[in-house]
Amino acid sequence: MSNPACTPIPINSKGFNRKCQIPFGMTVSHVQKAMQDFLDFLCFINTQLDTKKIERLESFLMPANFSSIVGEFMGAAIPKYCKTVVRNKYHNGHPDILPARRFPGDSAQHADDGIEIKGSRHTSGWQGHNAEPMWLMVFVFDSNTSRDTSRGIAGRPFRFVKVVGAALEKSDWAFSGRSASSRRTITASVTRSGYNKMEANWIYRA
């Protein structure tokens, strides 16, 4: 019998905000289809891993790596359904999604137009490497982490908690400090003003 935690919690089809504003022709329908693709992907991968007695993806990857997979997957899946946007083909280009046919080869190292996509287990305080104006969309999820087994935390299915997004200004970011001994990359966090903008334009709530 397969592990029940391999099957993600279904999306609440009534949890989408049809009045939210998303730029470049993107709609909640496009977002919903991409989210479903990720659930199907994760269910397939984890079910296959379970047949080999291997831990689920979210249970052995470092937390930040799994969050990155969620964000990268959504950034690739949304343009499959929304033909007015494309995935930025520039390696580590910013932002993740660009308006279609706006840039040569759909590639930009750094562009003012577009949507940055992030996956996060955190319901606020989302981070980025730069404090700059951008349209930010965050997919907040709940899942196990690689630390849970050692802590005796039981397995639970992945689920999307919420999706929020808004146009942020530089003033909506604040750089996070670090100690003298830390090797962590300096990052910027979304402030309360940015959080309020994104929550006011919520896209999905479970």
Q: pLDDT tens across 108-132, in order?
A: 999 999 999 999 999 999 988 778 8
Q: What CA–CA distance (Å, rounded) separates 54 from 60?
A: 9
Q: What CA–CA distance (Å, rounded) separates 198 from 94?
A: 19
pTM: 0.93
Q: Which domain holds residue 105?
A: 19-205
Q: Kindly state whether residue 194 falls inside one of the protein's structural domains.
A: yes
pLDDT of residue 132: 86
Q: Kindly state whether residue 11 falls inside one of the protein's structural domains.
A: no
User: Averaged over 131-152, what is the pLDDT?
Assistant: 93
Q: pLDDT tens across 82-114, in order?
A: 999 999 999 999 999 999 999 999 999 999 999
Give phi and psi for 68, each to the nearest 5: -65, -40
User: Averaged over 194-200, what is the pLDDT?
Assistant: 98
Q: What is the CA angle 201-128-163, rounded to 5?
A: 30
When divided into structural domains, the chain yields a total of 1
88 neighbors 67 (Cβ within 8 angstroms) = no
Task: Indicate which CATH number applies to the domain containing 121.
Answer: 3.40.600
